[in-house]
């Protein structure tokens, strides 16, 4: 055994060219890479990916929060509209012979007291039934067309909510001339 030939128990000399089964050694190929150079690139790529994932996560949370607020506002607007409809129906059933009115009526919605302003006015008259059944006690009956408007009072964000409701009521006299509505508040 010579001094330069490796045995199974000895490690080969690192400076000696590698020869594999009759091949010539490769010249000009760079030596082994130093792990310290790659560690910086991996760190930069990892930080970039973490930053990107953080931005995606924060924007997803922001979008879900804004959608949650939007849905909540729509639910509140729908509750106000239903409350206004309930107040109009209650007012019309309690006052079968409508007259000009500008009142505020409180109503309870899910434990919250809401004030709904009602404004009624006669917008026109038409002749009653032409078949002759429009006579009551010998008088001609007319159809009075009433407009009932309802809006919430005292709620800042509900400024644009205004509900119109039309009713036709047979009457034997003409519509009164209604004054312009004024600002009302609940007691």
The per-residue pLDDT for 162 is 81
Residue 28 lies in a domain: no
Task: Let me know if residue 14 belongs to a domain.
Answer: no
Stronger pLDDT, 9 or 107, i.e. the higher one: 107
Please report the pLDDT score of residue 48 as a whole number: 95
pLDDT of residue 12: 57
Single pTM value for the model: 0.57
For 23-76, the pLDDT digits (tens) are 555 555 555 555 555 667 888 999 999 999 999 999 999 999 999 988 988 888
Phi, psi of 14 (to 5 degrees): -70, -25
Residue 81: predicted pLDDT = 86
Mean pLDDT to the nearest integer, 10-21: 57
d(CA 75, CA 70): 9
Structural domain harbouring 60: 35-187
pLDDT at 20 over 70: no
Overall domain count for the chain: 1
Closest C-alpha among 80, 105, 87, 82 to residue 160: 80
Query: pLDDT category, 19, cuts 50, 70, 90?
Result: low
- Region 162-173: what's the mean pLDDT? 79
Give a yes or no: residue 153 inside a domain. yes
At 89-146, the pLDDT tens digits run 888 888 877 777 788 888 888 788 888 888 888 888 887 765 555 555 656 677 888 8
Question: Which residues are within 8 A (CB) of 163 and not within 5 positions of it... i.e. 6 or more apart?
Answer: 81, 84, 85, 88, 149, 150, 151
* CA 109/CA 124 separation, integer angstroms: 34
The better pLDDT of the pair 158, 66 is held by 66
Mean pLDDT of 169-183: 74
Residue 37 pLDDT: 58
The predicted pLDDT at position 145 comes to: 85
Contact (CB, 8 A) for 92 and 146? no
Q: Residue 170: is its pLDDT beyond 70? A: yes
Average pLDDT over residues 154-177: 76
On whether residue 9 sits in a domain, the answer given is no
Instruction: Decide if 26 is inside a domain.
Output: no
């Amino acid at each position: 055994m010579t001094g330069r030939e490796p045995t199974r128990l000895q490690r080969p000399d690192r400076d000696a060219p590698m020869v594999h089964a009759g091949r010539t050694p490769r010249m000009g190929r760079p030596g082994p890479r130093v792990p310290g150079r790659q560690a910086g690139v991996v760190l930069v790529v990892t930080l970039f990916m973490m930053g990107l994932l953080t931005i995606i996560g924060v924007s997803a949370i922001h979008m879900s929060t804004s959608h949650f607020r939007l849905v909540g506002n729509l639910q509140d607007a729908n509750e106000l509209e239903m409350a206004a409809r309930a107040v109009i129906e209650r007012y019309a059933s309690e006052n079968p012979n409508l007259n000009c009115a500008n009142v505020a009526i409180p109503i309870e919605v899910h434990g919250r007291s809401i004030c709904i302003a009602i404004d009624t006015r006669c917008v026109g008259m038409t002749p009653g039934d032409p078949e002759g059944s429009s006579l009551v006690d010998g008088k001609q009956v007319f159809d009075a067309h009433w407009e009932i408007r309802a809006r919430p009072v005292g709620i800042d964000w509900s400024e644009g909510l205004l509900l119109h409701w039309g009713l036709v009521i047979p009457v034997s006299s003409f519509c009164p001339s209604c004054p312009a509505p004024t600002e009302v508040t609940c007691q």
